[in-house]
Amino acid sequence: MKRLLNRNVVLCVMVLGCSLRAEVISLAADADYFTDNGLDNAVASIQYPSAEQFNGKTYIAYQGPHEDPYVCVYDHAKQVWQGPVKAGVSWLGLTPDPTDHKEIDNHGKPALFVDSKGYVHVVFGGHGGLPMLGENLYGTPGSGRQIHAVTKNPEDISSWEVLDNIDPFGTYDQILKMANGDIYLFYRHGSHRSDWVYQKSTDDGRTFAPPVSVIKHKPQHNDPNTHDAWYAWFCEGKGDTILAQYIYHPCLIENHNKQRVNVYYMKLNCRDGSCENAAGTSLTLPVTKEAADRLTLVHNSGTTKVNHGICRVDETGAPHMFFRSSEGSVRYTRWLGNGWQAPTPVTVPESKGQDGDMIVESPKVVWLILKGSRAGGGTEVCWWKTTDGGLSWNRESTVIASSDKGYGLSALVRNPFVVGEADNPLARGQFIVEEHDYASPSVYRKLSFWGGAGFVVRPEAEAQVVHRHIEAEKELKGKVPEGTPYQRRRARAAANVGED
């Protein structure tokens, strides 16, 4: 791509003529971000995908002002951007936008998919669903409302409509597209103490079947104050299968805790809805804590806190995964056919706050894109590689690093647009980067699109949009009801307001 520029490269040009001078000015006006109106934690791997390529265009969804879903699109042939366009109204939002990030919910970030006809869909806005929405049959309500919106026309993000065809009690939306065209929407059906479920569509998302529970919440028999709860990540497997990595959250009803322990794995067979562990032993859905411990345990972390990572599959169908550990670094493991390989650290122990995604090139060659703490402060985003099945890891390249900025990553772009390097894993390794300037009190973030060889640039005047929103927000101060963030969210939901 002619317009891919890496911000780590400094271009030095000696200008000898007016025409050359004009070209340099044009280049200087390009930014390596495509928008600056991402709100707080605007993208994350657990709400995914954030981006998908269809018919030569990459569609990108993220959390923007008022926690509403925004969409941009990049046309690779024309090398032009469109958007951001607001795709819907989130019930999690506050009007005006808060200036303190602690008041931002961040659980309703959009997940995106493009159907076979080119219509763009986003699912967003849920953190369990407000009690006013009715009875939650699979868990406990929370806040917001899970909403499904779609473009009114194919390959056109300018106008949207809501499809009322999914349960409102959801959070951590994850959208899978199977080879036969079926769409699976996985999510936690409520707040902490809720089942993980999926809803299936066989008609490009126009209708969805009722929820099917796959991981069960319940109070512990000997300790009703401790509730079995979960965090999960689902992805397409080999053939007509779906893989799941999940971790356990012993959720305390009183004196709520943030403990997460143990790592688990299972596989769903889409043809008949059955489920099995890595060894092929059948599981009964929904999987309980007792069954998970007995049949699906990958790593017993004891009292060490872990958090979800990513699970992917190799050409043989064997799963590979990484997960985060409070001991520092991430841990990688893979299924060897008769057991799980002992988890090995990928990065240095000092790397905190890691997240990212994985490309499995072969059973023994695996790439991880990870963000992590940088020695001396700040954050870096780097590619790590193993060629011996995860026994050792090397830092292959640094995408971006800064001593005074933090970064967030999306999961990888689905079906990335690749030119001439189809066999190069890094050319397929495309994702969205969120930038947080530590020195700035702003809750708005710049978002960049890593296109495999560099950041896809955009004219800076097009990318700078948040200043208009900030000016509009100033006029709202003193004109909205006072109250706690929860009360203001309820008022916004009841009135279905939030249009800029």
pLDDT of residue 305: 94
DSSP string, 130-175: -GGG---TTB---EEEEEEEEEEETTEEEEEEE---S-S--EEEEE
The pTM assigned to this predicted structure is 0.92
Question: Given pLDDT bands bounded at 50, 70 and 90, which one contains residue 355?
Answer: confident
User: Tokens at residue 413, please?
Assistant: 């772009």
Which tens digits make up the pLDDT trace of 460-476?
999 999 999 989 888 87
Average pLDDT, the chain: 90
Answer for the pair 78, 2: CB distance below 8 angstroms, yes or no.
Answer: no
Rounded-to-integer distance, Cα 85 and Cα 159, Å = 8
Mapping DSSP to helix (H, G, I), strand (E, B) and coil, where does residue 258 land?
coil
Which candidate in 59, 70, 138, 172 is catalytic? 172
Q: What is the mean pLDDT of residues 272-289?
A: 97
Give catalytic status of residue 172 as yes or no.
yes
Rounded-to-integer distance, Cα 246 and Cα 195, Å = 12
All structural domains of the chain, each given as residue ranges with its CATH number in brackets, are: 4-495 (2.130.10.150)
Rounded-to-integer distance, Cα 11 and Cα 490, Å = 51
Which tens digits make up the pLDDT trace of 90-113?
999 988 888 889 999 999 999 999
Task: Say what percent of the chain tops pLDDT 90.
Answer: 79
pLDDT of residue 289: 97
Answer for the pair 108, 63: CB distance below 8 angstroms, yes or no.
Answer: yes
Tell me which of 106-115, 289-298, 308-317, 487-496 is least confident: 487-496
Q: From residue 128, how far is each of 30, 62, 107, 259, 291 by CA, in Å? A: 40, 19, 9, 19, 25
User: 62 Cβ partners below 8 Å, 6+ apart?
Assistant: 35, 38, 42, 43, 50, 69, 70, 109, 110, 432, 434, 447
Tell me which of 161-170, 333-342, 398-407, 422-431 is least confident: 422-431
Return the C-alpha torsion angle 486, 487, 490, 496, nearest 10.
Answer: -110
Q: What is the mean pLDDT of residues 289-309?
A: 96
Which candidate in 107, 121, 299, 308 is catalytic? 107
Which residue stretches of 29-80 are H helix?
none
User: 360 Cβ partners below 8 Å, 6+ apart?
Assistant: 312, 313, 314, 320, 366
pLDDT of residue 496: 63
Give catalytic status of residue 107 as yes or no.
yes
Residue 168 has pLDDT above 90, yes or no: yes
CA atoms within 13 A of residue 331's CA, in its CB half-sphere: 23
